[in-house]
Amino acid sequence: MGDMKNTIREFFARFFQIEGLADNDDIFAGGYVNSLFAMQLIAWLEKDCGLQIDDEDLQIANFNSVDSISAFIERKRSVATV
């Protein structure tokens, strides 16, 4: 999962300064990102990570930190392989 967290951080770094950002820091509450970034994140997850994002997945808790995104990816991938 460490590699996935690094991949997420690399994606974040394209949009905002990640220095000092902890894996559990809330990127929305911290003011790092906005709704446009949220849409870019969803597009990245679908295109680059190969996930199908469903309406019920669109909860801020799935996308508000490196940890939550990494866990979300792991859950989606485990469901896809069952």
What phi and psi, each to the nearest 5 degrees, are found at residue 45? -60, -40
State the residue range of the domain holding 24: 2-80
The residue that leads in pLDDT, 50 or 82, is 50
Its pTM surpasses 0.75: yes
Please report, for the domain that includes residue 13, its CATH number: 1.10.1200.10
Q: How far apart are CA 31 and CA 26, in angstroms?
A: 9
pLDDT, tens digit (0-9, with 9 covering 90-100), for 5-61: 999 999 999 999 889 899 999 999 999 888 899 999 999 999 999 999 999 999 999
For 57-67, what is the mean pLDDT? Answer: 96
Q: How far apart are CA 6 and CA 70, in angstroms?
A: 10
DSSP label at residue 15: T
What CA–CA distance (Å, rounded) separates 46 from 52? 6
Q: What is the number of domains present in the chain? A: 1
Distance of alpha carbon 24 from alpha carbon 34, whole angstroms = 18
Compute the distance between CA of residue 45 and CA of residue 39 in angstroms, rounded to an integer: 10
